[in-house]
C-alpha cells in the first residue's frame, strides 16, 4: 500500500495483496508448511531471496509476510519479522546482539520475563554482564557504558511503574559509542510511538496485546532495517524456529484493520478512568503517562502521539488485605494477566511477583505490594468508572 496514505487507511486496505485471490476482500490464509516449484531453476531462484520467497514456512509464509509488511509500514521501518510470541521476539533480539562476555544496559523495570531471560539465561549461560538502570535520565546510561557494551535495551513506558526514557537522546548516545539499541514498544503500539524514527535500531512488540487486540493470539514482532532483520531472519528466526503461524498472522491482519479505532477508544476511556482515580480520595497515586500530573508528562507528550489503556495505581490504605478486597469487589474488570484486549482487566503484581522474586528484588524494581494494574478496555467508560467506584467503596 502506498506510503502516502494515512496509517489507518494502510491498516484497513488489503488491495495490493489480493491480486491473485479473486479480489477477495480478506486475503486467504496460506496454511502451508512448504511451497513447490515447477523446476530446479525456479526453486534455485527462490533461494536467492529466501526472506521474500516462500519456500518453507519456518522461514517465510505469504500470510505472515503480509502482516509483517503492514507492521513495518505502520512503524516506519523497512521490514519486520513476526514471531510465535513477544518473548520469542525479545529472546531473538537479545541473542542477536549479545555474545559471551558482552555487556548489556537495561532497565530495572523492564517486563519481568525479559529480566528473567537476562538473569537466568544470558548471565547464567553466556556470562553476559548487565547494568540495570532507572532510565529516566540519559546520564544513567552514559555512566554505565563500558568498552564491551553491545546493547541498550529499553521499554518506554516500562512495566508496572510506567517510567519513560528519552528515546532520541539515548539513541544518539548509543550511536556515538556504536552500541545497538532495541526497544519494547508494546505499551504505546507503533501507532502512538515510532522509536525507529527517533533513532532506535530495533522495535519490539508483543502482538498479544493491542496489535492482536482481542485476547485470542500470542505473537511478537521485530521491526527495523532490512539489513538487521535479514541477519536476524537467517540466525535467530530460522534456526531457533519460534516462527509465527499463518493462522495467527491472519488474525493479526484482521486486528490491524481496527487498530486505530480501538486505540482511540482505549485512550479516551483510559484518560477518563485515570482522571477519576487521580481525583479520588481513596487513591494515593496513579501511574499513567497521559495524566498532566504524571512526572514525565512533557517527555511523554514529546515522543508519543497518544496513550494506551494500561495503568497502575495505589490505594491510600495499602494493606494487602485491602488490595485483595478491592480486586475481588470489581465486577467488570476481570482478574487476569496480560492486557491490551477488548476487555477490561485487573491484576496486582503481588499475586505472582512475590512468588517469582524476593521482596528486595520487588522493591528494587520500584514495585510495592499495594500496586494495582488495570487494562482499560472498550466497554462504556461510565460503567467502568462505576465498577471502580463500587470497589473503592467496598474497602
Contact positions vs ligand PLP (CB under 6 A): 85-87, 90, 111, 155, 159, 184, 186, 206, 208, 218, 220, 338
In the complex with ligand PLP, which residue's Cβ is closer, 115 or 332? Answer: 115
Strands 371-375 and 310-315: antiparallel
Strands 202-206 and 149-155: unpaired
Query: From the CB of residue 255, how many other CB atoms can be counted at a distance below 10 Å?
Result: 21
Report yes or no: 154 and 106 within 8 Å, Cβ to Cβ.
Answer: yes
Count CA within 13 A, CB hemisphere, residue 342.
Answer: 8
> Least Å distance between CB 203 and ligand PLP?
12
> Least Å distance between CB 147 and ligand PLP?
30
> Least Å distance between CB 48 and ligand PLP?
33
In the complex with ligand PLP, which residue's Cβ is closer, 159 or 215? Answer: 159
In the complex with ligand PLP, which residue's Cβ is closer, 154 or 381? Answer: 154
Would you call the peptide bond into 234 cis, given omega within 30 degrees of 0 as the criterion? no
Helix axes 246-256, 62-75, angle to 10 degrees: 40
> Least Å distance between CB 208 and ligand PLP?
4
In the complex with ligand PLP, which residue's Cβ is closer, 218 or 223? Answer: 218
Q: Which residue has the closest beta carbon to ligand PLP?
A: 86
Query: From the CB of residue 100, how many other CB atoms can be counted at a distance below 10 Å?
Result: 9
> Least Å distance between CB 132 and ligand PLP?
16
In the complex with ligand PLP, which residue's Cβ is closer, 182 or 332? Answer: 182
CA-based angle 50:54:58, to the nearest 5?
A: 80
Amino acid at each position: 500500500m502506498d506510503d502516502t496514505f494515512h496509517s489507518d487507511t494502510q491498516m484497513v486496505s488489503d488491495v495490493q495483496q489480493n491480486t491473485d485471490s479473486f479480489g477477495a476482500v480478506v486475503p486467504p490464509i496460506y496454511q502451508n508448511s512448504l511451497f513447490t516449484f515447477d523446476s530446479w531453476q525456479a526453486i534455485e531462484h527462490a533461494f536467492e531471496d529466501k526472506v521474500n520467497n516462500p519456500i518453507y514456512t519456518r522461514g517465510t509464509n505469504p500470510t505472515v509476510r503480509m502482516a509483517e509488511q503492514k507492521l513495518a509500514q505502520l512503524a516506519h521501518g523497512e521490514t519486520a519479522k513476526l514471531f510465535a510470541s513477544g518473548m520469542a521476539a525479545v529472546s531473538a533480539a537479545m541473542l542477536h546482539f549479545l555474545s559471551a562476555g558482552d555487556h548489556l544496559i537495561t532497565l530495572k523495570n523492564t517486563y519481568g520475563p525479559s529480566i528473567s531471560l537476562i538473569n537466568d539465561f544470558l548471565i547464567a549461560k553466556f556470562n553476559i554482564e548487565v547494568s540495570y538502570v532507572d532510565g529516566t535520565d540519559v546520564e544513567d546510561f552514559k555512566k554505565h557504558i563500558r568498552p564491551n557494551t553491545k546493547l541498550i535495551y529499553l521499554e518506554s513506558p516500562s512495566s508496572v511503574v510506567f517510567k519513560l526514557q528519552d528515546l532520541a537522546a539515548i539513541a544518539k548516545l548509543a550511536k556515538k559509542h556504536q552500541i545497538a539499541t532495541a526497544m519494547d514498544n508494546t505499551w504505546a503500539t507503533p501507532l502512538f510511538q515510532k522509536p525507529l524514527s527517533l533513532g532506535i535500531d530495533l522495535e519490539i512488540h508483543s502482538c498479544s496485546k493491542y496489535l492482536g487486540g482481542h485476547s485470542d493470539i500470542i505473537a511478537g514482532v521485530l521491526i527495523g532495517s532490512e539489513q538487521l532483520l535479514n541477519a536476524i531472519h537467517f540466525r535467530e528466526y530460522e534456526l531457533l524456529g519460534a516462527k509465527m503461524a499463518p493462522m495467527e498472522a491472519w488474525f493479526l491482519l484482521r486486528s490491524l484493520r481496527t487498530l486505530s479505532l480501538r486505540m482511540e477508544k482505549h485512550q479516551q476511556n483510559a484518560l477518563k478512568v485515570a482522571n477519576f482515580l487521580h481525583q479520588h480520595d481513596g487513591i494515593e497515586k496513579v501511574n499513567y503517562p497521559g495524566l498532566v500530573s504524571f512526572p514525565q508528562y512533557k517527555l511523554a507528550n514529546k515522543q508519543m502521539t497518544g496513550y494506551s489503556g494500561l495503568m497502575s495505581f495505589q490505594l491510600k490504605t495499602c494493606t494487602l488485605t485491602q488490595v485483595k478486597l478491592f480486586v475481588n469487589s470489581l465486577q467488570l474488570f476481570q482478574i487476569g494477566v496480560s492486557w491490551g484486549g477488548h476487555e477490561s482487566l485487573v491484576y496486582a503484581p503481588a499475586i505472582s511477583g512475590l512468588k517469582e522474586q524476593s521482596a528486595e528484588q520487588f522493591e528494587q524494581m520500584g514495585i510495592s505490594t499495594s500496586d494495582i494494574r488495570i487494562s482499560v478496555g472498550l466497554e462504556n467508560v461510565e460503567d467502568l468508572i462505576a465498577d471502580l467506584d463500587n470497589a473503592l467503596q467496598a474497602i
